[in-house]
Amino acid sequence: MANPVLNDKFSEQERVLQGEPMTVNGTLQVTAFLGALLFAAAAFTWSRFTLGYTDLAMTLTGAGLILGFILGLVIAFTRMKALIPVYAVCEGMFLGGVSATFEASMPGIVSQAVAGTFAALFSMLILYRANVIRCTDKFRSVIFITTASIAVVYLVNFIGSFFGLHVPLINSSSTAGIVVTAVIVVIAALNLIIDFDFIERGAQNMLPKDMEWYGAFGLMVTIVWLYLEILRLLAKLQSRR
């Protein structure tokens, strides 16, 4: 879901007085490393589906979802760097299973979702660098409140599903349901602006080197959420054909 881990509270006490500080390039390198772990885990889970080991694949997908959620919360509140690669692997297991399931019923949808995710990522980066979208305090507040609201709705929908109840429009392929999902995609993409700002200002404020992992983790949380929402949007659009 939404990125809950980044904030703009850069204190003087966090600045590096000795040693190497956080850099933008260093954060990108960590992000690439985590992306490689995620891709490898996703490919493995996907391959279990294609080879017919459906039970194993479903187990990996479920384990990835549960462990990834728990680890995400632990990392967000404790900044335990050692758990971040494990989180990337768990997210990969989950995404691999979900993607394989969608691809089986709608061939080609995963490549479209991946392309859409990268398109949104680079579009937000360009808009951020060009100062078209500025990460002001008001912008952060609005995106945070909106993202938190979406998270609550998804949580209610998840709990309700155990009792046969669902939040209207979340799973609907109606025009209104598609519009709602499209809006959520936009909100997820705008969270990238906050991620970029955190990474850039973290480097400017000379935060500790370990904060590169924290910035990369936050960016990965947003990208995973964005990919899943684009996948859901494409699935809804294709179901209307």
Output the DSSP codes for 53-118. Answer: -HHHHHHHHHHHHHHHHHHHHHHHHH--GGGHHHHHHHHHHHHHHHHHHHHHHSTTHHHHHHHHHH
Residues, the chain, total?
Answer: 241
pLDDT digit string (tens) for 177-222? Answer: 899 999 999 999 999 999 999 999 999 988 989 899 999 999 999 9
**Under 8 Å between Cβ of 187 and 146:** yes
Tokens coding 222: 């947003």
The answer to whether the predicted template modeling score (pTM) of the entire model surpasses 0.85 is yes
pLDDT of residue 235: 95
At a CB cut-off of 8 Å and minimum separation 6, what does 220 contact?
A: 31, 34, 35, 38, 87, 88, 91
The closest alpha carbon to 45, from 1, 106, 110, belongs to 110
Distance CA 186, CA 183 (A): 5
**Under 8 Å between Cβ of 221 and 187:** no
pLDDT digit string (tens) for 28-86? Answer: 999 999 999 999 999 999 999 999 999 999 999 999 999 999 999 999 888 889 999 99
